[in-house]
Structure 1
Amino acid sequence: MSADPSSHQPTTADHHNVIQVRGARENNLANVSVDLPKRRLTVFTGVSGSGKSSLVFGTIAAESQRLINETYTAFIQSFMPSMGRPDVDALHNLSAAIVVDQERMGANSRSTVGTATDAYTMLRIIFSRLGTPHIGTSTAFSFNSAEGMCPECEGIGQVTKIDVDQLVDRELSLREGAITVPGFAVDAWYWQVMADSGLYDPDTKLKDFTPAEWDDFLHKPSTKIKSGGINVTYEGLVVKVQRVYLSKDRESMQPHIRAFVDRAVVFTDCPACGGTRLSAAALSSVIDGVNIAQCSAMQISDLAAFVRTIADPSVAPMLAGLSHTLDSLVEIGLGYLSLDRTSSTLSGGEAQRVKMVRHLGSSLTDVTYVFDEPTIGLHPHDISRMNDLLLRLRDKGNTVLVVEHKPEVIAIADHVVDLGPGAGSAGGQVCYSGDVPGLRASGTLTGRHLGHRARLRESVREPHGKIAIEGADLHNLRDVSVDIPTGVLTVVTGVAGSGKSSLIHGYLSVRDGVAVADQSPIRGSRRSNPATYTGLLGPIRTAFAKENGVKAALFSANSEGACPVCNGLGLVYTDLAMMAGVASVCEKCEGRRFTPEVLTYTLRGKNISEVLGMSMAQAYDFFPSGQARAILGRLTDVGLSYLRLGQPLNTLSGGERQRLKLAIHMAEKSTTYVLDEPTTGLHMADVDKLLALLDRLVDAGNTVVVIEHHQAVMARADWLIDLGPGGGHDGGRVVFTGTPAELVADGDTLTARHLRQYVAG
């Protein structure tokens, strides 16, 4: 097939076998037309920001889901998110698209690996038929139903207790500042209500309160009292803290409030059910002496073996279905999880693989499955298993579209679409469309890098000293003691579930002077963007204010200069009552977010909206000196030169969020950096740039510790710490420490085997 897909007009006989994309212009796509074979595995490649996600998610998957939603009644549509039509001339022969992404599963504490994969549902049915004593139908074993849940904790499995000594210092009086809760400083409004309540003396030390005063101080329910001559509502401190702070979603709290809540609130297993979430009756019913909670707590690989020992023809199809689901979870490298693991504690990669298993068991065929970097968080050992699953989905008669950078996945593709040649405005074109041998020979950036290998370091750097971790036993760690050398690049490796994150985030990240750049969501909404988040907007506003002799607040879309119609969002959200709400570009400011007056002020011929529309690379050239250029330099260093300054943060991928955090930490002069899979979302060509950046950080005297599966990063390390040998209870031990060369020469771990193959090329 030629590189210009529009020149290949399918004949009438085969046009139903291709998804035809014509004139796609979503985000940076430059009028892209391409044909994708159906019932085949197509991999989309290209540098970060080249337009892969815009084509696959923003165009193909978005239009498929929009068309499906339109088949529902207006009433049902009113409960669904609204979807605008993507900017594309035509899409032909779409099938229903299922997106299997890395969005963390919701923060709902009632969702577990078992409920998300339906494995727990099957287990409940088996227990309701075979468990003795027989206690009722399958809902009697559900912690989400009234008859199955523990009445004490209502099926959550945990109860919260407030540690009073985190709220107050008993050695002080109120007037001396005994209350240590945020918002209760001496003379603050909350403090005044308590101090003037007359229920106790604000000058008496708390430890000298009578039992009645102590009870009024902490637990008195909401009561109207006179304070300083006016009527106010008084609540005991614990009552108020529960109402003001604990009823809020943890994610929406400001960092200092969240830190206080994490200190003050102790989660303990519910004493009634022992954390199992279930009623006494559900726990009393057993199969071969094991109850359903014990099954849920088993490592999935052990549960799969236990289920095989149950033989009863009355539930044979259910047993077969459960075994299939559990085996798939083991195959995909998640055998170390348990069914009772809360979904919100899974990493993005783990969540994606759990969703994948749900689809593998589905009877649907001729569906389009869309994957976003399914190898994230996977050791090279597990990537081959992931490949098998992708091929199994295809062989069931489905179209599988995968956005991926790993050569191991590109190698199994039936078809490859390479986007580029660069990122942002320099990308958005199809550079190649065809099979893998053709890609190798194509001369594109991706083609040239398919066989690219990072070499082992000629000579490793000498450490300055060490950070000792002793007796680490968090999660599955087995009393691990290990030294992390300082002043060098250390890479921590091991299969998924081996204990890498528990070791590094549990024992190193929490120390002073350690900067952590991970992929967790950045607080902030569609109002936040890289310019506000990195502090770049400050010097930009100052430059505009100085140039035009006006105040800086005018140049903030969250302040005085905001368009009054859309409040500086650039979009207007309209609620259509029975229909789905829609977001439309604000007519007043035409999406520019500022008042017409603000847009008349310019800096070197550009107004503030035009500057925020620039990419980091364009802005770097536009600001020749000063603080703005320093920040932009760091953003370019971490490989984000294609991002726009004003791009909403909620549109960034996990890898982009991580690199944004790294850019900020680089300004803080930390001495130790911890990065968690920084190669996420990076093209092979960009991995080299990342390695150069890590080298610069180390050469400047810093300690860099990276949790990573990418062999190029392992090869360039000064020191490796390999955990394993497996995941879950088969992991949690240090199986190797030393240089990459030593691992390749003498190592006998899974990592050693794969790094040896990689280096041999």
Structure 2
Amino acid sequence: MPDFITLTGARENNLKNVDLRIPKGRLTVFTGVSGSGKSSLVFDTIAVESQRQLNETYPSFVRNRLPRFERPHIESLTDLSPAVVVDQRPVGGHARSTVGTMTDIQAVLRVLFSRYGTPSAGPATAYSFNDPSGMCPECDGLGRTVRPDWDRILDPARSLAGGAVRFPPFAAGTWHGQTYTNTTRLDVHKPVGAFTAEERAFLLRGRGARVRVGNTGGSRDIDYEGLADRFERLYLKRDLSALSRRTRDLVREFLTDDVCPVCRGARLNAAALATRVCGLSLADCARMQVTDLIAVLRRIDDPVAAPVARAAVDGLERIEAIGLGYLSLDRETATLSGGEGQRLKTVRHLGSSLSGLTYVFDEPSAGLHPRDVGRLGELLLRLRDRGNTVLVVEHDPDLIALADHVVDMGPGAGAGGGHVVFEGTPGALAASGTLTGRCLRRRATVKRRVRRATGGLWVKGASLHNLREVTVEFPTGVLTAVTGVAGSGKSTLTGELTAAHPDAVIVDQSAIAVSGRSTPATHLGVMDAVRRLFARSTGTSPALFSFNSAGACGGCEGRGVIVTDLAFMDPVTTVCPDCAGRRFQDEVLRLTVRGASIADVLDMGPEQALDFFGDLDVPEDAVLRPLRALRDVGLTHLALGRPLSTLSGGERQRIKLATRLHRTGAVYVLDEPTTGLHLADVGALLALLDRLVDAGNTVVVVEHHLDVVRHADWVIDLGPGGGRDGGEVIFEGTPRQMLTVQGSATAEHLRRTTV
């Protein structure tokens, strides 16, 4: 069996003809600044090619139903093994997806209740909230009832013609709204509140009539559909996550969401809820914290039930071992953070007896307190010791130290990266002259002189989730770090802060909206002003300078590439031959400002763009300030026209921060802003946060990174544990004062890593 995965001539994204040999059966960590090429090498090259070749082993009928992967840009990649990718993409799932269903522990508990519980409701499916035989008939197993809020949707004092329908997509004048303003079956000038029961029933549920509606293409007759029926069809009987975020937010304003009055959130029907094991229903077990449920199931010694209970305990103990013992099985997966979701994906693989695989992890320490990083490292080593190859993209020094082999990418980011600058052991990396090596040798100290608060923002009596009547003051005019182990209540507490002070600027971990056409320039709102500048300078239309409009290349429709779908074969992406990847028509590219075409501008980084626009007549707020913000968050390597879909997680989060900079007197609340950042990038982030505070702002960061804690002016530490064992403020003070605190996991690790 070959001992290495061998790459030759890797050129994906910014990789510069990389040649590399990766040892098999070892834990290899890939390091380097954001944008240096780590993900391009590990995920876009190794993982993609492994999955692509594995799919080729299936018959064409099966391949046609599998995800299709394009062959990465590489000369050769040999001695691959099947890859299992554990990334940070949100586990998502609909409202029926929970921690219990994701980890399959819920299925084990259903078997336990069907065989051991009394009184029995029947087979295991009778205990499933996803099966008609087990789900609550009122809420269909969702635990909540979501209904239209008709008091908000309809104004009883107005007529249909006068704007009685307040839901914008159905309002008078819209295409949908014409169904109700043009019907001949109702008096559209009569106040809706004066409708008879029969008239209201027709408005909401009517069928069988025809109504004429018009649009730009003329008018036509369509079948009448009641207002309630149409609302439910378009917005309730489909997955809202498929809609745009703007539409989802709009719809939610017109819904009432309550706990199901029949099952009271348990999701199951009466027969399933009546069954007891150890005096508990299945819903009681699902609501319990994982650590508590383990203790309950361990007490089962019945010869029939014990093996099933043991299987459930094994799965629960894996969740506890990975630092998520504070979760409950009924927790919806859509509410999990990226780090929590990734660790739960890892749990699923830990129960596997397969070996000889390649496991690929994307920054598995994201969202982890230093206390839990050691646990994660043990799990990665367990995967390796089963005969697997483990590849990890990571910045955390503790995980880097565990590696058998390290590959450092760089030396910079973007066009300045894409090279392997170091290969070897963690010790040799720390002694090397690379940027990562220098950062690993750096000695850390706490801030000696802290800023004085200018006032305070209070949160009083907070009791949401696991918070225990917390009252705390967030000092203004300083940098405050909110710390604590995962599940201790940090995000909940800062959420209470933003609820009490709604003007706060929130930079959280939610994804930014991206498409194949989204770029830093469009996301920051720079392009409108740039198009107007080009139009004014060349005497043409602004639409010509948009690759989404009149100026788009006809060959690729402004995408710069052509994707050819070859049925069950891999799709092929080629640079558009008409525009050579520049997205615009030739006649548009001939229109220039100072010798630069619109495509040339999109190829510029923020520093180049600032020099280009510096003395041109462009709006300060619309162009220059966003470009400075992009530079200030450390994204100097990023081309303005680069697709956002190709950015790393760290790059995307800093773009989000860039859109919210340069506000004075504001309160900034940031949720783990160091996620995805190299040690060197953390220093740049801290410099940026200092500038925000020095400009008169208040900055609150939820963080695990100890460099941020050491640099803060004030620390609020929650704990002492997670879930039920957290929810209390166990320390308030300066980082130097925190060094002497006992009983705090954050203080303990701060002492270990501070000189």
Give the TM-score range, shorter chain.
Answer: over 0.9
Tell me the equivalent position of 2:743: 748
Give the deviation of 1:452 after TM superposition. 2.2
Give the deviation of 1:570 after TM superposition. 2.4
Give the deviation of 1:347 after TM superposition. 0.8
1:101 to 83, 87, 90: 87
Tell me the equivalent position of 1:594: 584
- 1:634 and 2:629 correspond: yes
Tell me the equivalent position of 1:54: 40
* Pair 222,182 (structure 1): closer, same or farther in 2 beyond 3 Å: farther
Q: Which amino acid aligns with 1:250?
A: L
In 1, the alpha carbon distance for the partners of 2:212 and 2:407 equals 73
1:316-356 Cα deviation digits (max 9, x unpaired): 54433322221111111101111121111111100100000
Tell me the equivalent position of 1:676: 671
Tell me the equivalent position of 1:488: 478
Q: Secondary structure at the match of 2:534?
A: helix
Q: Secondary structure at the match of 2:491?
A: helix
In 1, the alpha carbon distance for the partners of 2:565 and 2:495 equals 43
**1:56-455 mapped onto 2 (5 Å cutoff):** 56-174=42-160, 177-185=163-171, 187-191=173-177, 193-197=179-183, 201-202=187-188, 204-221=190-207, 223-225=209-211, 231=221, 233-247=223-237, 249-254=239-244, 256-455=246-445
Tell me the equivalent position of 1:757: 752
* Pair 425,618 (structure 1): closer, same or farther in 2 beyond 3 Å: farther
Maintained 8 Å contact 2:439/2:679: yes
In 2, the alpha carbon distance for the partners of 1:227 and 1:650 equals 39
Maintained 8 Å contact 1:139/1:145: yes
* Pair 700,576 (structure 1): closer, same or farther in 2 beyond 3 Å: same
Maintained 8 Å contact 1:152/1:272: yes
Give the deviation of 1:107 after TM superposition. 3.0
Maintained 8 Å contact 2:96/2:130: yes
1:709 to 704, 712, 716: 704
In 2, the alpha carbon distance for the partners of 1:735 and 1:251 equals 38
1:498-553 Cα deviation digits (max 9, x unpaired): 11112213441674322211221222311211111111222332333233332221
* Pair 387,250 (structure 1): closer, same or farther in 2 beyond 3 Å: same
* Pair 37,225 (structure 1): closer, same or farther in 2 beyond 3 Å: closer
Maintained 8 Å contact 1:519/1:655: no
* Pair 192,141 (structure 1): closer, same or farther in 2 beyond 3 Å: closer
Q: Secondary structure at the match of 2:717?
A: strand
In 2, the alpha carbon distance for the partners of 1:418 and 1:32 equals 12
In 2, the alpha carbon distance for the partners of 1:331 and 1:467 equals 37
Question: Which deviates more from structure 2 when the two are superposed, residues 421-430 or residues 250-259?
Answer: 250-259
- 1:645 and 2:640 correspond: yes
In 1, the alpha carbon distance for the partners of 2:639 and 2:277 equals 59
Q: Secondary structure at the match of 2:75?
A: strand
* Pair 471,72 (structure 1): closer, same or farther in 2 beyond 3 Å: same
Give the deviation of 1:683 after TM superposition. 0.9
Q: Which amino acid aligns with 1:16?
A: P
In 1, the alpha carbon distance for the partners of 2:578 and 2:239 equals 35
Give the deviation of 1:187 after TM superposition. 4.6
In 2, the alpha carbon distance for the partners of 1:510 and 1:555 equals 44
In 2, the alpha carbon distance for the partners of 1:620 and 1:36 equals 41
Give the deviation of 1:35 after TM superposition. 1.6
Tell me the equivalent position of 1:691: 686
In 1, the alpha carbon distance for the partners of 2:142 and 2:644 equals 32
1:434-478 Cα deviation digits (max 9, x unpaired): 011111111111111113244322222222222222222222222
Maintained 8 Å contact 1:519/1:657: no
**1:474-513 mapped onto 2 (5 Å cutoff):** 474-508=464-498, 511-513=501-503
1:542 to 514, 532, 550: 532
Q: Secondary structure at the match of 2:510?
A: coil
* Pair 57,738 (structure 1): closer, same or farther in 2 beyond 3 Å: same
Q: Secondary structure at the match of 1:370?
A: strand
Q: Which amino acid aligns with 2:598?
A: I
Maintained 8 Å contact 2:479/2:713: yes
Maintained 8 Å contact 2:431/2:441: no
2:659 to 664, 680, 704: 664
In 2, the alpha carbon distance for the partners of 1:362 and 1:510 equals 46
Give the deviation of 1:694 after TM superposition. 0.4
Maintained 8 Å contact 1:78/1:580: no
Give the deviation of 1:642 after TM superposition. 2.0
Maintained 8 Å contact 1:520/1:657: no
CA RMSD of aligned residues (A): 2.5
In 2, the alpha carbon distance for the partners of 1:171 and 1:695 equals 54
Q: Secondary structure at the match of 1:705?
A: strand
Give the deviation of 1:584 after TM superposition. 4.2
Give the deviation of 1:663 after TM superposition. 0.6
Question: Which deviates more from structure 2 when the two are superposed, residues 531-540 or residues 228-237?
Answer: 228-237
Maintained 8 Å contact 2:172/2:181: no
* Pair 64,257 (structure 1): closer, same or farther in 2 beyond 3 Å: closer
Q: How many percent identity over aligned positions? A: 52
Unpaired segments ≥5 residues, structure 2: none
In 2, the alpha carbon distance for the partners of 1:90 and 1:617 equals 37
In 2, the alpha carbon distance for the partners of 1:175 and 1:220 equals 18
Maintained 8 Å contact 2:70/2:571: no
In 2, the alpha carbon distance for the partners of 1:572 and 1:718 equals 52
Q: Which amino acid aligns with 1:94?
A: L
Tell me the equivalent position of 1:700: 695
In 2, the alpha carbon distance for the partners of 1:750 and 1:237 equals 56
* Pair 213,453 (structure 1): closer, same or farther in 2 beyond 3 Å: farther
Give the deviation of 1:714 after TM superposition. 0.9
1:671-725 Cα deviation digits (max 9, x unpaired): 1111111111111111111001001011111111111110111111112111111
Question: Which deviates more from structure 2 when the two are superposed, residues 224-233 or residues 478-487?
Answer: 224-233
Q: Secondary structure at the match of 2:253?
A: helix
Q: Which amino acid aligns with 1:55?
A: L
Q: Which amino acid aligns with 1:61?
A: A
In 1, the alpha carbon distance for the partners of 2:665 and 2:193 equals 41
Maintained 8 Å contact 1:453/1:712: no
* Pair 39,577 (structure 1): closer, same or farther in 2 beyond 3 Å: closer
In 2, the alpha carbon distance for the partners of 1:575 and 1:153 equals 42
What TM-score do the two structures reach when normalised by structure 2?
A: 0.93
In 1, the alpha carbon distance for the partners of 2:380 and 2:508 equals 27
- 1:733 and 2:728 correspond: yes
